[in-house]
A and B are shown apart, each in its own frame.
Chain A
Amino acid sequence: MSAVLTDEGSYAELTDELLGKVLSPPRWIRPALLGTFLGTIVLLVAITYTVLTGVGVWGNNIPVVWAFGLTNFVWWIGIGHAGTFISAFLLLLEQKWRTSINRFAEGMTLFAVIQAGLFPLLHLGRPWFFYWLAPYPSTMKVWPQFRSALTWDVVAVSTYFTVSLLFWYLGLVPDLAAMRDRASERWRRRIYAVFALGWYGSTRNWNRWRIAYGLLGGLATPLVVSVHSIVSSDFAIGNLPGWHSPLFPPYFVAGAIYSGFAMVLTLMIPARRLYRLQGVITTQHLDSMAKMLLVTGWIVTYSYVIELWTAWYSGDKYEMYTYLVMRPFGPYAWCWWTVIVCNCVSPQLLWSRRIRRSPVALWLLSLVIQLGMWMERFVLIVTSQSRDFLPSSWRLYRPTLVDGALLFGTVSFFLFLFLLFLRFVPFIPISELKALKHELAEEERDA
């Protein structure tokens, strides 16, 4: 058998093994759900406090009007990108190692985008007026300002979420049907039957399914590139030193995929071990993802170098100050150096095959990279605002407890949603894996 699928059993054994993960859940999942649920309560409390009191409870000030909120937004959206990259981009490239991890990654995307969406909504100050962002004929007679990158964001992020959800669900339908046919209790069969939409696996079912799945893959692929490009326009269209750069779209996209692959590893490595999935998520998968980290890590590093060089080459004193003085040596220098160590230096370990294939080392490294990518956004957002053109308006930013609670809370909520997903949904694509098994067997026979 091939290196991407070492499971040797029959179709029935493979199906039962994968369905069994959901039908008879492991014992640790209850306490894990409870723990993350408690963290989610922290999020609810922080949100309630923010909404009732006002955004003033965050550390934001003038001129640092965007701080943790935007940092968290960009970080979470970025994490989502790897999921779409795996499920859509690698589908079009017919990468076999995509199959067993795509649903996992796609679920991660959905839950990450939910977290991301919370922050701009709360930052509105009066989130109950969020619908002002949509073009509807109102008594005020005005429309949203569509030449602002912020309105683009609304459309991009909501489209991204919707398309990811449809793509994920369409892939899930045949496996929900398998759940329906294998579950032993009647009530459970009923519930899965409703979500399986009456799937009966006819040739026509599969033909339409395959076409739509391919098309959704094709449609989601440009979203990987466009959504973070649009997010980067929030900055690039502004004229603050350190923001006003045409480099941002590709640099943001690479960073997004970088942090997203790190998050996939952070979630996948423990799940692989706890659910004993070594047969379907093999060392080959870890190795491939580690290589993706190395590649995107280098694109990010290259972008940092180009940024510094462009700042110097522009001859603009504000740009030069921001990039060459403020960031590496200013009051937030420790953050900047954390970014360099986490994002540029640490991934170089991945040149070693042993580290690429070691789950523990990769898991630790994935955490380091996520810290680095969060810091990167923080440095980008806070340093530019806190020291812009006029020294008289300079001011530093310090996060408050509420800022911290929101970040912690979204991490908990994200993990909570993810655990629910592991608990109730076949999280390894069963029908796709069987198709892959057949394909591999055919290849082996022809060889």
Chain B
Amino acid sequence: MPDPVVIELESVEAVVGAAAHLRATGYSVLEAYTPFPIPALDDAIGTRRSKLPWLVLAAGVSGASLAYVVLWWTSAVDYRLDVGGRPYNSLPADVPIVFETTVLFAAGTAFLAALILSGLPRLHHPVFELEGFERTTIDRFWITIGPPSGRGALLEEELVVLREELAPFGPVVVRDGRRAS
């Protein structure tokens, strides 16, 4: 188990508030786990901006270029085909295929990048070993934190302090991840 302390909360407000509080008090908030997307958490956790949109843009441009080169080379260079006396390289007729290929490449990349950039697909993740973690996909909100920088683990007294600090955020379970697993 990589993250020493595991915090289990019961609502969106609690997880956002607790994450912001922990970060402000100097804990390194490693990650939060939630049953549905909570955009407000990105800031509270400090998730870095994803480069996914740029990858999608690059893929779209490559798709468009590839399609155009294939169309141009096959019908205007390699095997010139006269269709009703129109120019060999007729741009208007290329529009549909170039457009569709752009979308195909961009969409394929969006899908793959979303998975790969978040470390999927994977057969296992250490958090799955936490007791009760399966409720994350149902209705529980989790935060995992590390100790203040330069320390190996949190002391038992510190856990007590944490519990008190987080009490305003509703029902909360704070435990040592290594012992709980």
By a beta-carbon cutoff of 8 Å, the part of chain A in contact with chain B is: 10-12, 15-16, 135, 141-149, 151-152, 155-156, 159, 162-163, 166-167, 169-170, 173-174, 177-178, 180-182, 197-213, 215-216, 219-220, 222-223, 226, 230, 233, 431-432, 434-435, 438
Contact = CB atoms under 8 A, between A and B. Distances in A.
Interface residues of B, number: 62
Contacts of A145: 75, 81, 83
B180 interface: no
User: Nearest 7 CB-CB pairs, A to B?
Assistant: A212-B114, A11-B139, A197-B121, A198-B122, A143-B74, A181-B134, A435-B36
A352 to B, nearest CB: 37
Interface in B78-98: 78-79, 81, 83, 86, 90, 93-94, 96-97
Contact of B111 (A152, A181, A212, A435): A212
Given A163-B103, A197-B120, A435-B36, A204 B47 contact: yes
A14 to B, nearest CB: 9
A208 B125 contact: no
Given A152-B96, A201-B33, A210-B39, A162 B138 contact: no
B139 A15 contact: yes
Contacts of A216: 107, 110-111
A198 B37 contact: no
Contact of B93 (A147, A181, A200): A147
A198 B121 contact: yes
A209 B39 contact: no
B98 to A, nearest CB: 9
Nearest to B134: A181
6 contacts: A181-B136, A206-B34, A206-B38, A216-B111, A432-B36, A438-B38
Given A155-B100, A233-B96, A10 B36 contact: no
Contacts of A209: 37, 114, 118
Contact of A159 (B103, B110, B134): B103
A219 B101 CA distance: 11
Nearest to B104: A159
Contacts of B137: 15, 174, 177-178, 180-182, 199, 201, 431
Residue of B31, B103, B115 contacting most chain A CB atoms (<10 Å) = B103
Interface string B113-153: 11101111111110110000011111100000000000000
Given A202-B118, A206-B37, A212 B113 contact: yes
A112 to B, nearest CB: 18
Residue of B56, B83, B137 contacting most chain A CB atoms (<10 Å) = B137
Residue of A12, A135, A219 contacting most chain B CB atoms (<10 Å) = A219
A65 to B, nearest CB: 20
Given A167-B107, A200-B127, A435-B36, A211 B83 contact: no
Contacts of A201: 33-35, 136-137
Contacts of A146: 71, 74-75, 93-94, 97
Given A135-B70, A178-B137, A435-B38, 6 more contacts: A11-B35, A149-B96, A181-B136, A207-B42, A210-B37, A226-B100
Contact of B74 (A135, A203, A213): A135
A159 B117 CA distance: 24
A199 B33 CA distance: 11
B100 to A, nearest CB: 4
B86 A147 contact: yes
A203 B45 CA distance: 8
B100 A203 contact: no
B32 interface: yes
A208 B127 CA distance: 19
B61 interface: no
Contacts of B56: 215
A15 B90 CA distance: 54
A438 B128 contact: no
A435 B115 CA distance: 21
Contact of A156 (B90, B96, B120): B96
